[in-house]
Amino acid sequence: AQKVTQAQTEISVVEKEDVTLDCVYETRDTTYYLFWYKQPPSGELVFLIRRNSFDEQNEISGRYSWNFQKSTSSFNFTITASQVVDSAVYFCALSEPLSGGSYIPTFGRGTSLIVHP
C-alpha cells in the first residue's frame, strides 16, 4: 500500500495565484515525521519543513504555509502569491520507525508545479 499519496501529478498556475499541494499519508505508528522537499529543475532536493506527529501546529514561513491534520492524515502545503521561481517538483515524505529503530523516509510521487509569468 502506498504510504504517501500526492494525488496531484501536475499543477499549472499563473504568477501571484495561491496554490495548495496535497499530501495524504498512511501509518499505524503514533510517532512519525512528515517532510516536504522541493526539487527544482537543477535536480537537487531541498528540505523545506519537518513536522513530528505530536505537533499539529500549522506553520507559516514567508509565502509558504503547512496545514497538518492528523484527523484526515494530511499534510498540505500552500504557496501564497506564487512566483516563477516556485516552479519545481514538490515531494512529501513520511518517516516512520522500522525494525531496529531506524527511521527511513518514504517519498510520495511528487507534484510538479508550473508557475507561468
- In the complex with other proteins, the residue whose CB is nearer, 34 or 115, is 34
To other proteins, the closest distance from the beta carbon of 40 in angstroms equals: 11
To other proteins, the closest distance from the beta carbon of 47 in angstroms equals: 4
Task: Give yes or no for a contact between 74 and 102, defined as CB atoms under 8 angstroms apart.
Answer: no
The three grid cell numbers given for residue 12, joined into one nine-digit string: 499549472
Task: Give yes or no for a contact between 46 and 35, defined as CB atoms under 8 angstroms apart.
Answer: no
Ramachandran angles phi, psi of 116, nearest 5° = -90, 145
Instruction: Tell me the residue type at 44.
Output: E
To other proteins, the closest distance from the beta carbon of 44 in angstroms equals: 5
Instruction: List interacting residues with other proteins (CB under 8 A).
Output: 31, 33, 35, 37, 42-47, 50, 52, 91, 95, 97, 102-105, 107-110, 112
- In the complex with other proteins, the residue whose CB is nearer, 43 or 62, is 43
To other proteins, the closest distance from the beta carbon of 16 in angstroms equals: 27
- In the complex with other proteins, the residue whose CB is nearer, 31 or 72, is 31
CA 43 – CA 56 distance, rounded (Å): 30
- In the complex with other proteins, the residue whose CB is nearer, 80 or 109, is 109
Burial status of residue 8 (CB atoms within 10 A of its CB: 0-12, 13-18, 19 or more) = middle
